Chain A
Amino acid sequence: MAGPAATLEPSSSHERLPGAPVLEMRDIARAFGSTQALDGVSLSLFPGEIHALLGENGAGKSTLIKIMTGVQQPDRGEMRIDGRPVRVSSSQDGQRLGVAAIYQEPMIFPDLSVAENIFIGHRDRGVRVDHGKTQREAEAVLARLGVSLDVGEPARGLTLAQQQTVEIAKAISLKVRVLIMDEPTASLSAHEVRQLFRIVAALKAEGVAILFISHRMEEVFEIADRVTILRDGRWISTSPRGELTPAAAIRGMVGREVVELFKRERTAPGAVRLAVRDLHKEGVFSGVSFEVRAGEVLGFAGLVGARRTDVGLALFGVAPAERGSVELDGAPISVRSPQEATRLGIAYSTEDRRQLGLVMPLSITANITLPSLERYLGAFGLVRRSAERETANSFRDRLRIRAPSVETPAAALSGGNQQKVVLSKWLETKPKVLILDEPTRGIDVGAKVEVHQLIDELAAQGMAIIMISSDLPEVLAMSDRILVMREGRQVAIIDHADASQERVLGAAMGQGGDLLADEPGVDLIAGTAAAATLDLLASGEVDPELLLRDPAAPPADGDRA
C-alpha cells in the first residue's frame, strides 16, 4: 500500500502519540429505522496504540465497527486513513486499506489447513498454491506472535483461542494497520487471555493500531492506552487510561437520561412462586439461585454474554440445565421441553421476535392461539375459528394492538404491536410465571409505556415475572429486585431501593461496590506487573522478542527455508 510521504511506516512505531493518526472516524452517524445507532461519533486511532471502546449494550459499538470494516455504510460522516478520506463499501475494501476485525466467534474454515486459513484471502498469491511455501510463511507469521501450531493440519478442532490466533495471523499477513478486536476475551480462559495479551503487545510493538472492545473493566484498564466511551450512539469522552478510573468510566457509560416513563406502584409480593437453586449448565452458566414471588418483577441485568437468556431458556425447557433444582409453588419440577413448561404454567417471550416469537405470514389470531390451540378444538378436532377470533379481539382491545383486524398478518405490524401479539400469545397460556426477554427492544416509546403498564397489571394480578432486559432504566423502573449476571455467574441481587445504574452496571462489569467509592487519580489496575511489562514494551526500550518468544516455538528469524 503506497501511501503519501506522511504515512507512518510500522518501523517508526515508537513515535506514538503525538503522531499522525492512521485512522480517523469523523462525525459518523447511522440510523436503523427510527433508531439512531450512531450520532456524530468521532474517533482517532494512532499507530501502536491500544484504544479501548466502552459502552453499554446498544451504545453503538457494533455499528461503529461495521462501518469501519465496510460491512455497513454511514449515513453521514467521513472516514480517513493516513489523513485521506476513503470510502469503504465492502469488507474487501476494508482489507485492502488495512482494516480488519476479529470477532468473539472467529470465522474459520474448518476443512482447510491452518496455513490456508491464514492465506486464503490473499489476492496477490497467484493461481497456484505452493503448499510448502504457504506453510513456511504461516509458521513465520505465527512465530511472530509467539505461537506454534501444526499449520498443515485442518483448522477443525482448534480451540477458540487458537482460532483467534489464526485470525490475528491472517490479519497480520494482510499487513493490517488497524485491528479491531470485538470482545476477543469473552470466551477465553484466564491463561488464554494472558496469551492473547502477549500477542496484542507484540502487534502494538509493530505499530498496529488496535481497537479493543471488552466488557471486562480490568482488562481494559490493564492494556488500553486510551479509552473512548460511547453512550446511546453518541461520543461521550476519550481519555488516556491514567486519567480515567473504572468508576468514572461506568459513570460515563450510564448517565443516560432517565425519563421515568412509567411509575410502578409496588405492593408487597405474595408467596414464593418459583424457587431456583444452584442452576448449572456446563460452560454456560452456574450458581444461579433466586426466588420470584407472586406479584413480583425480578429484573435480570447483565451485558452481552452474561448468559441471562440461557437461564430463561433453561427454565422454559428449551435447553435444560444440567444441575440444580427448580420449585414451582413449592413442588419440585424438572422441565425438559417448552410443552412441559407451558403445561406447568411457565411462559417465555423471546428476545428474537422476528425469528422465534412470531410466525410472520400468519394472522394475529393464529399467532395468539398457537401455543394454546388445543383449547380451541371443536368437533372432529377442527379449530373453532369464532372462539379463536373472540380471544384475539379481546387481546386486541386489552393490549391496544393497533391493526386493521385480527386477521392481519403479523408481518404487517409495527414492532410494538408485534411485541403485544407475542405477549398475548403467552398470556393466553395462562402462565403463573412469565419470563420476558427484552420485552421492549426495538419498539417505540408509546408502545414501551404500554408494555410497562401491562407488566405492572400482570404483577398486580399475582403473576411472577422475570424480566431480562439490557435497558438499564427499564430494569430499574420495573423491577422489585434486580439479579445481575456476569459471564454466566450470578454476581448480585440488588433490592429496588438500593439499586442505581452505576451499581448495576458496576456489578455487571465485575467492579465491586467498594471500587465505586474510589478517590480520583488512583489507578487501581495499571500498577500490576503485567501492565508494567506492556508499558515497557510500548516504550520501545525492550525488544519484544525477548519477552514474547515462546520457548517451544522455532526461532522467529524469518525464512528458514
Chain B
Amino acid sequence: MDALLRRFRPEQLRELILLLVIVGMVVFFATQIDQYLAARPVNRITTGLAITAVVAVGQVLVVLTRNIDLSVGSSVGLVAYVVGTLLTRWTEMPPLVAVGLSVGIGVLLGAINGLLVAYGRVPSIIATLGTLALYRVVLVEFSGAKTVTTADLPDWLNDIPSANVASFEGYDLRVMVAVALVAVIIGQLMLRYLSFGRRLYAIGSNPDAARVSGLPARRDVFLAFTLCGALAGLAGFMFLVRFGNITVTAAQGLELQVVAAVVVGGVAIAGGSGSMVGAFMGVLLIEILQQSLLRWAEISEFVKDAILGLLILLAVATDTVVLGRLRERWVRIRRRDQEERLAAAPGEAADVR
C-alpha cells in the first residue's frame, strides 16, 4: 500500500480503484449474460451515457467550487422542448442555429443560477432547487401540455442518433458519443491547463484563502454555473435528437443521475478535488450497472433510482472514510520520507549561528 501511495496520490488511487471496479463489473456480467459484449448491447450502453456525460462535465465545474446544480434536469427538458417546438414550426432552421439556440438558452438558465449563487449569496442547493421547479413550470406553461413528436421534426435531426463517426465490426462510435467524449476531454484540459480551471479547485479547496488571496471567486463561480448551463443546453439538444418525443416530464430526475455519476467518479462534494475523467468513469459505471441489471435481473425504473441513491450514499461514505485514511497515510509517508532525506543530508539542519 505504501509503495502504491508513493507512486499515486490518494485521488489518483481512487480513480484507479474505480476503473478496476468497472472492469470487474464487466467481467462479472459477461459471465452472467449471453452476448454481453456483442456489438448491439455495447452500442446501447455507449449511446445511453452520452447525455449524462455532457451534463456531468458541467456539473463537475460547479461541484469543484463547493456548489451544486440541481436544476440541470429541468434545463435539459426545457431546452429540448423549446428547441423541438421551434423546429416543428420552422423546419428550415439550419442545424447550427438549432444547436446554437440550445446552448444559448442553456447559458441563460445557467447564468440565472450563477447570479443567484455568486452574487445573490443564495446557497446553491436552495437556489438550484428553486430553479429546478421554476424551469419545469416554465416548460409546462410554454408547452400548454402538448408534446413534440418525432414525426413533426425535420429529417436531418431524426438521422443524427444513428450517425456514426467510426465503426468497427458493428461496434459504433456514434456522433452523440463522440460529442460527449470531446466535452469530457476539453473539460479535463480546461481544468488542468487554464488558470480558470485551477481557480475552481482553489475556490472549493479553501474558500477563505481564495478570498484573502484576491481570487475573483464570485466571477468564477458565476462562470462555472453559466458553463454548466451551456452544457445542459447542449445536452437538451442531444435529448431532443435522441428521443424525438418530448413531453413536459422530459429529463425529469436527470439531476440525480448526474450528481450520482459525479460523486461516484470521485469529485468531492465539498469541492476542491476530482476530475472530468473520474466523473466520466462514474457515468460509465452507472450506465453499465443500470443497463446490465435491466437485462440480468429485469429490474424496474424505480429500482434504477434506488441504485442511484445507494451509489451516492456509498460513494460519499467511502470517500469520507477511505479517502480520508488514504490521505492521512499519504501525508505520513511523505513526512517520513522527508525526514529521512533530511537525515541523509547532514548540515541542512544546522542553524545560521
A: residues with CB less than 8 A from B are: 90-92, 95, 107-112, 116, 120-121, 125-129, 131, 153-154, 156-157, 159, 170, 191, 194, 197-198, 201, 528-530, 533-534, 547-548, 550-552
- Also in contact, A530 and B206, with CB within 8 A (given A107-B213, A111-B272): no
Evaluate contact between A548 and B352: CB separation under 8 angstroms.
Answer: yes
> Could you say which of A116, A157, A170, A194 contacts B352, with CB atoms under 8 Å apart?
A194
CA distance A548 to B342 in the complex (A): 17
Scan residues 333-352 of chain B and give those whose CB is less than 8 A from a CB of chain A. Answer: 334-335, 341-342, 345, 347-349, 351-352
Query: Nearest B residue to A157 by beta-carbon distance?
Result: B331
Least distance between A423 CB and chain B CB atoms (Å): 33
Query: Nearest B residue to A71 by beta-carbon distance?
Result: B212
B: residues with CB less than 8 A from A are: 9, 192-199, 201-202, 204-206, 208-215, 272-273, 327, 330-331, 334-335, 341-342, 345, 347-349, 351-353
Evaluate contact between A551 and B348: CB separation under 8 angstroms.
Answer: yes
Which of A125, A127, A528 is most buried by chain B, counting CB atoms within 10 A of its CB?
A127
Query: Nearest B residue to A70 by beta-carbon distance?
Result: B214
Least distance between A511 CB and chain B CB atoms (Å): 22
CB within 8 Å: A-B pair count: 100
Evaluate contact between A109 and B209: CB separation under 8 angstroms.
Answer: yes
Evaluate contact between B351 and A157: CB separation under 8 angstroms.
Answer: no
Which of A92, A154, A191, A201 is most buried by chain B, counting CB atoms within 10 A of its CB?
A154
Evaluate contact between B214 and A129: CB separation under 8 angstroms.
Answer: no
Query: Nearest B residue to A155 by beta-carbon distance?
Result: B205
CA distance A237 to B46 in the complex (A): 75
Evaluate contact between B345 and A120: CB separation under 8 angstroms.
Answer: no
Which residues of chain A are near B195, meaning CB under 8 Å?
120, 125-129
Which of A107, A108, A197, A533 is most buried by chain B, counting CB atoms within 10 A of its CB?
A107
The 5 closest A-B pairs by CB, nearest first: A157-B331, A107-B209, A92-B214, A111-B205, A121-B213
> Could you say which of B209, B211, B335 contacts A108, with CB atoms under 8 Å apart?
B209
CA distance A170 to B212 in the complex (A): 12
- Also in contact, A90 and B214, with CB within 8 A (given A126-B195, A129-B193, A533-B353): yes
Evaluate contact between B206 and A110: CB separation under 8 angstroms.
Answer: yes
CA distance A159 to B342 in the complex (A): 14
Which residues of chain B are near A112, meaning CB under 8 Å?
198, 201-202, 205
28 chain-A/chain-B pairs, Cβ below 8 angstroms: A91-B212, A91-B214, A92-B214, A107-B213, A109-B206, A109-B272, A110-B205, A111-B201, A111-B273, A112-B205, A120-B198, A126-B195, A127-B194, A127-B195, A128-B193, A129-B193, A129-B195, A129-B197, A129-B198, A131-B193, A156-B330, A157-B327, A157-B331, A159-B335, A533-B353, A534-B352, A548-B352, A551-B348
CA distance A109 to B199 in the complex (A): 10
CA distance A128 to B190 in the complex (A): 9
Which residues of chain B are near A551, meaning CB under 8 Å?
345, 347-348
Which residues of chain A are near B206, meaning CB under 8 Å?
107-110
Least distance between A132 CB and chain B CB atoms (Å): 11
CA distance A170 to B209 in the complex (A): 12
Least distance between B66 CB and chain A CB atoms (Å): 11
Least distance between A47 CB and chain B CB atoms (Å): 22
Least distance between B340 CB and chain A CB atoms (Å): 12
CA distance A530 to B350 in the complex (A): 12
- Also in contact, A109 and B345, with CB within 8 A (given A120-B213, A157-B334, A198-B352): no
CA distance A154 to B201 in the complex (A): 12
- Also in contact, A530 and B211, with CB within 8 A (given A109-B272, A111-B272, A153-B334): no
Which residues of chain B are near A197, meaning CB under 8 Å?
352
Least distance between A380 CB and chain B CB atoms (Å): 37
Least distance between B344 CB and chain A CB atoms (Å): 9
CA distance A197 to B327 in the complex (A): 31
Evaluate contact between B198 and A107: CB separation under 8 angstroms.
Answer: no
Which residues of chain A are near B341, meaning CB under 8 Å?
552
Query: Nearest B residue to A116 by beta-carbon distance?
Result: B198
Which residues of chain B are near A95, meaning CB under 8 Å?
213-214
Evaluate contact between B194 and A129: CB separation under 8 angstroms.
Answer: yes
Query: Nearest A residue to B353 by beta-carbon distance?
Result: A529
Which residues of chain A are near B192, meaning CB under 8 Å?
129, 131
- Also in contact, A552 and B273, with CB within 8 A (given A107-B206, A197-B352): no
Which residues of chain A are near B331, meaning CB under 8 Å?
156-157
Query: Nearest A residue to B271 by beta-carbon distance?
Result: A111
> Could you say which of A110, A127, A157 contacts B196, with CB atoms under 8 Å apart?
A127
Which residues of chain B are near A198, meaning CB under 8 Å?
352
Evaluate contact between A128 and B208: CB separation under 8 angstroms.
Answer: no
Query: Nearest A residue to B9 by beta-carbon distance?
Result: A154
Which of A92, A125, A159 is most buried by chain B, counting CB atoms within 10 A of its CB?
A92
CA distance A116 to B201 in the complex (A): 11
Which residues of chain B are near A533, meaning CB under 8 Å?
352-353
Least distance between A203 CB and chain B CB atoms (Å): 14
CA distance A131 to B212 in the complex (A): 23
Which residues of chain B are near A125, meaning CB under 8 Å?
195
CA distance A191 to B349 in the complex (A): 8
Query: Nearest B residue to A96 by beta-carbon distance?
Result: B214
Least distance between A238 CB and chain B CB atoms (Å): 27
Which residues of chain B are near A529, meaning CB under 8 Å?
353
